[in-house]
Amino acid sequence: MRRIRGARTPIMRCLGVVLVLMAVGALAKRGGDSLFDDAAGVTRLDRAGARAVSRNETDAKGWVVVFYAPWCGHCRHYAPEFRKFAAALTVGDESIRAGVVSCAAESKACQDNAVQGYPTIKSFGV
């Protein structure tokens, strides 16, 4: 039988499917996007929330917002520091708030804010 270079055999296709299913299962088991779950002082923003923050249509004087991807190694490394920062903001007068936008879940919000890499940290109204 003649083999065409680059052609995948049925076994290789099955192996690829199994690997994808394992990765999806690992994310589901881990909760997927859990970098900022239950973090004191961190507000999760959807597209409408991110738009309101960027247009200064909230009751806060300013916002510091992290646009991130849950699979990003740099984001995973930065998340604990941002959680500490957000918790410290709650001790003061709370006029400045911390927000996060998951670009995996809210891709349009990230496009609206010209996010090109992760993490992207932006301040609004500050």
Is 77 tagged catalytic?
no
CA atoms within a 13 Å half-sphere pointing along the CA-CB vector of 80: 3
Helical (H) or strand (E) element with 99 = strand 96-102
Q: Which of 32, 62, 72, 125 is catalytic?
A: 72
Active site residue 75: yes
List the catalytic residue out of 14, 25, 31, 74.
74
Name the catalytic one among 6, 73, 92, 117: 73
Q: Please say if 74 is a catalytic residue.
A: yes
Q: Of the listed 41, 75, 99, 110, which one is catalytic?
A: 75
DSSP state of 44: E
Q: What are phi and psi of 122, to 5 degrees?
A: -130, 150
Q: Which residues pair with 124 in a beta bridge?
A: 63
Residue 62: closest CA among 17, 39, 19, 93: 93
Positions marked catalytic: 72-75
